[in-house]
Structure 1
Amino acid sequence: MTLRAVIYARYSSDLQSASSIEDQIRLCRERAARAGWQIVGTYEDAATSGASLMRPGIQRLQQDARERRFDVVISEALDRLSRNQADIAALYQTLTFAGTAIETLAEGRIDEMHIGLKGTMNALFLKDLAAKTRRGLRGRVEKGKSGGGNAFGYTVLRHMGEDGEVRRGDRQINEDEAAIVRRIFTAYADGMSPNRIADQLNREGIPGPRAGKWDKSTIHGNPKRGTGVLNNEIYIGRLVWNRQSFVKDPATGKRQARPNPESEWIITDVPELRIIDQALWDRVKTRQEGRKIEQTDREAWERRKPRFLLTGLVKCGCCGGGFSTIGKDRFGCSNSRNKGTWVCSNRTGITRQELEGRILSILSERLMDPELVKVFAEEYIAERNRLAAAHVDDRAVKEKELTKLIKEQDALVNALLSGLPPERIKAKMEQLEARQKQLERELATTSVPNTTVRLHPRMADTYHDRIQAMITALSEPDRESEARKAIRGLIEKIVATPVPTKGKRMALDLTLHGDLAGILALSLNADRLSGQQKTSCEQEVEESAGFLVAGACNHLKLRLLSAYRALLEQSALAWSRGLLRSAA
């Protein structure tokens, strides 16, 4: 039987030649030809580090392996697949489970010994490489050269040294960009906001760092971390390196910045690179100090949580950017505010009350449907029965244990009468008597519950009151609840697009995307079939969400209805279950 083989090839960075991929594939094809294997596919990751498995090529390879599309993977060496010890072990386990072997040109057929030894060697290689690279960068910085990257306002020079080697890392002032830097510092010191500065620069078509658009964060940055134009000390002739280090999240493969203590910073004076005079720098720092709001780490973390129900879910229909707070309880396009109307012309805002109200009002009406009251009653009865059954089972277990304890005590008494020394059974008897008294007390304080469930005649009113309270709570800032999490999980995004009104004023048209849109659309379609008239707001939701159910097959409808039921269970029904458990 001819084995089906695939080839995996990778090279690490843009500094390496793209022909490396072709060379690896050619050599692997020759290996497959000698073994008589049939090549059924190739997987590639160009300019991608082997320190993580978050690579499209290796991810596709694993997915196809699970589907048993090939029998063996050929690669130049084990480190082409991964340099991370844990990742290569996990990859080996995945492929082995799928019945797929690994064959490399350097090591041959891979087994557990290769994974252990080579995986450790590759991990040590990465660690050693990082240490050597960092040591080299530190030496460059201490000589006043660039330690990686470049700041706006400077040009990195490359020239040939006397020994014939290319010299890198030297910088000189770029006068055109330096003029922009001085303009930013002067404007901010004179009282202009970073938003306004970014807007003016974008209107004039002045390219920002890396030829991108100017943003308020590009200008103001983070003073504590030294990011942003206004906080880069190289503009006053001080090169600061090692402010932060980066660690890789093993779950996502993404790097996260961690600030280093100031004692570990490497600071070098480079007076020839000064662009901003000390007086202007001090004016900027004074204004920043005056606008600073001291907050604890906990408060900073709390700010990252969604404060309102729809925080982070609203997107601009013009530029695709997010909506953020532009005033008290008012939202608007972030790009328009931070980068200016030259980037996005959408200056139409919306209050939080209107934004949430247009969504929650329809949701509230849907949850008040009589059919849902019926569902509520069924769930209530089922929960009562489950708790009653659990209560009966618990009592039966205790009664059985009590009977067993009494028998054990009788056995000890018989042993005592037969001549067994009392000191040998005293402790055991005391333990049995203590447990017997505890069980008798617990059984005396509980009774067998009545499993007959009677529905209160005003249960529908109670349900409506609870739903209304839930909807009201969703609008409260900083309020965390299962219902809020459930609803946010059903919303993919809300697209806000400005449209003219009859009074020639602009208003925002909201388009709901996600499972909640499908749920509402299904519910509204049901009303249409029953002949019930829809409001204009309902019509808008149906039109915006109609694509989710138009021609939808049964499994999509079932998925949406399942999500709807989950929403009920996590919100409206939770109160009854809590009351029942506390009563039990």
Structure 2
Amino acid sequence: MKAALYARYSSDNQREASIEDQLRLCRHYADKQGWTIVDSYTDRAISGASLLRPGIQELIHDALRGKFVVVLAEAMDRLSRDQEDIAGLFKRMAFANVRIVTLSEGDVTHLHVGLKGTMNALFLKDLADKTRRGLRGRVEEGKSGGGLCFGYDVIKQFAANGEPIRGDRTINEAEATIVRRIFADYLAGKSSRTIAWELNQEGVPGPQRAEWGPSTIHGNPKRGVGILNNELYVGRLVWNRLRYLKDPDTGKRVSRLNPESEWIVQDVPELRIVDQELWDKVKGRQRTLICEPTASGENALNDRRRPKHLFAGLVKCGCCGGGYTIISKDLLGCATARNKGTCGNRLNIRRDALEASVLSGLRTHLMEPELFKEFCDEFTREVNRLRSERGADLEGRKRELERVDRELDKAIQAILDGVPGAKLKDRIGALETRKAELIDLLANAEEPPPLLHPNMAEIFRRRISALHESLEGEDGKAEAAELFRTLVDQVTLVPDADKLAIVIRGDLAAMLRFAADKKNPALGEGGVLGRLLSQESLVAGTG
């Protein structure tokens, strides 16, 4: 029995040794069972509320490859605390014919998944409710409800019994001076972009010692975020303005605005940094710049919204990694250089010239016949290796199925020859069960990866040319543009003397799928080729 171990602890406040303790207990259990441990997987200081963890993802990947037949963990909540995730993990392991065993629950079954998954989800909700209750009590005493904003320092002090006293803050005079300067500059007519640019040029560190950006300053007035909207600067502590939810697809937290009736507001005059008159004038200027919806409900900015261009969001600066954005009607420039002033790349490029160059690169550089032939040769060798490994397993199962059929025939013939059926009942039952397992394994076995057509590079080039023609006309233009975007991962603009060199990174699996002109699962993200290419990209002009 080949076994894999998994261990996890949740936060930086927990002990690093927790991982080793979990693994030690699991190793002891595996030794008692006579299992062979082939690998161990860990996630350190990561919440169990999501499966987007490197350790658990690697475990799932190896399980689907057949590296082990049992996963051993201390308890189910180490694997996941989310009901949907633990059910999905259980389903994936069952598909891979891998058992899940924990020291607490033993062999994990559908019953465990249902009951324990619900209990773990309730535990997380109860923990969140208790945490919020404690924070609310602290805020109602005029103390911090968590987090530290620019302009303040945490006061570290202890009670007589040695327990830390939490939530006290004091004004950081150096940062408070920067806050007052931002308010004064904004009132004087400077834009948030200009203020951020000047602060970065002077080397003034921003919140969390990061660079200043326009959004750091102007933020969102309705949500109370941004330097210009932080009411703590006028001695007013507002808590519970926002609530945070975890996106089930990305695992990232997203904020939602709570009704104003749920806000907790406390006056803390000792923390005031900005005088009321300056605050009111700044709020007045903000209101003059806001475009309110019209009587029909339409936002006045909608008519001025720029159209989404062919490679919008994919163009990056080769110096700082920031995005290239539209800085005039047809000109693209580095957003970091323009908004923050911390990137030295001042070269701009016309949008139409960039799109023409990228389309030309897709036709002439990506999928070059000589380079693609070399890739085909390497790919074929890898496919043959995988086929030989998988073929050995398939042949073994086929031979075993033939042997089981022969054994069943012999047992039935023995009954016909007069042997009492009661003596052969258990034997026949075991053979029938094994036969059903083998038929299921053979039916669900992965097909060998497809071999690539040697002329696929030329087919790709012809289809790109046809797609380019579709962009010229209105019919099918939107569909063609969306398909182009799936082929390109990133367009990087690298300064080269007084010009910009263009580097195109393409999704090779998507290009092969496009050239094949069909939705072939084996070429997709979950297919064999998709897994072989999951970490690869093709770069125009570099091979």
Q: Structure 1 length normalisation: TM-score?
A: 0.66
Q: Deviations over 1:446-491 (max 9, x none)?
A: xxxxxxxxxxxxxxxxxx99975732559xxxx9710111112222
Instruction: Indicate the residue corresponding to 2:371 in structure 1.
Output: none
Q: For 1:484, which of 481, 485, 494 is the aligned residue?
A: 481
CA distance in 1, matches of 2:505, 2:245: 35
Q: Secondary structure at the match of 1:21?
A: helix
Q: Secondary structure at the match of 2:23?
A: helix
Q: After superposition, where does 1:94-105 map in structure 2 within 5 Å?
A: 94-105=92-103
Instruction: Indicate the residue corresponding to 1:230 in structure 2.
Output: 228
Q: After superposition, where does 1:403-482 map in structure 2 within 5 Å?
A: 470-471=471-472, 473=474, 481-482=478-479
Instruction: Indicate the residue corresponding to 2:65 in structure 1.
Output: 67
Q: Give 1:336 shift.
A: 0.5
Q: Confirm whether residue 498 of structure 1 aligns to residue 475 of structure 2.
A: no
Q: For 2:33, which of 32, 35, 56 is the aligned residue?
A: 35
Q: For 1:116, which of 105, 114, 117 is the aligned residue?
A: 114
Conserved in 2, the CA contact under 8 Å of 1:306 and 1:312?
no
Q: Deviations over 1:110-131 (max 9, x none)?
A: 2222222211111111111111
Instruction: Indicate the residue corresponding to 2:314 in structure 1.
Output: 313
Distance change (3 Å), C-alpha of 1:146 and 1:300? farther
Distance change (3 Å), C-alpha of 1:223 and 1:50? same
Larger gyration radius, structure 1 or structure 2: 1
Distance change (3 Å), C-alpha of 1:116 and 1:220? same
Q: Secondary structure at the match of 1:245?
A: strand
Q: Give 1:80 shift.
A: 0.7
CA distance in 2, matches of 1:252, 1:352: 31
Q: For 1:512, which of 494, 504, 512 is the aligned residue?
A: 504
CA distance in 2, matches of 1:268, 1:486: 53
Q: Secondary structure at the match of 2:193?
A: helix
Instruction: Indicate the residue corresponding to 1:130 in structure 2.
Output: 128
Q: Secondary structure at the match of 2:153?
A: strand
- Contiguous gaps of at least 5 residues in structure 1: 367-463, 501-505, 516-555, 568-584
CA distance in 2, matches of 1:323, 1:36: 58
Distance change (3 Å), C-alpha of 1:297 and 1:172? farther
Conserved in 2, the CA contact under 8 Å of 1:4 and 1:38?
yes
Q: After superposition, where does 1:167-182 map in structure 2 within 5 Å?
A: 167-182=165-180
Distance change (3 Å), C-alpha of 1:466 and 1:252? closer
Conserved in 2, the CA contact under 8 Å of 1:360 and 1:471?
no
Instruction: Indicate the residue corresponding to 1:328 in structure 2.
Output: 329
Instruction: Indicate the residue corresponding to 1:166 in structure 2.
Output: 164
Distance change (3 Å), C-alpha of 1:164 and 1:562? closer
Distance change (3 Å), C-alpha of 1:5 and 1:149? same
Q: After superposition, where does 1:213-224 map in structure 2 within 5 Å?
A: 213-224=211-222
CA distance in 2, matches of 1:243, 1:204: 34
Aligned residue type for 2:231 = E
Cα RMSD of the aligned pairs, angstroms, is: 2.9
CA distance in 1, matches of 2:43, 2:273: 42
Q: Structure 2 length normalisation: TM-score?
A: 0.71
The 10-residue stretch of structure 1 (260-269 or 357-366) with the greater mean CA deviation from structure 2? 357-366
Conserved in 2, the CA contact under 8 Å of 1:364 and 1:471?
no
Q: For 2:202, which of 190, 201, 204 is the aligned residue?
A: 204
Q: Give 1:510 shift.
A: 2.5
Q: Give 1:202 shift.
A: 1.5
Distance change (3 Å), C-alpha of 1:351 and 1:243? same
Distance change (3 Å), C-alpha of 1:131 and 1:278? same
Conserved in 1, the CA contact under 8 Å of 2:333 and 2:348?
yes
Q: After superposition, where does 1:226-265 map in structure 2 within 5 Å?
A: 226-265=224-263
Q: After superposition, where does 1:359-398 map in structure 2 within 5 Å?
A: 359=358
Instruction: Indicate the residue corresponding to 2:354 in structure 1.
Output: 355
Aligned residue type for 1:223 = P
- Contiguous gaps of at least 5 residues in structure 2: 366-464, 519-543
Q: Secondary structure at the match of 1:492?
A: strand
Instruction: Indicate the residue corresponding to 2:52 in structure 1.
Output: 54
CA distance in 2, matches of 1:58, 1:300: 45
Conserved in 2, the CA contact under 8 Å of 1:364 and 1:468?
no
Conserved in 2, the CA contact under 8 Å of 1:244 and 1:257?
yes
Q: For 1:4, which of 2, 5, 11 is the aligned residue?
A: 2
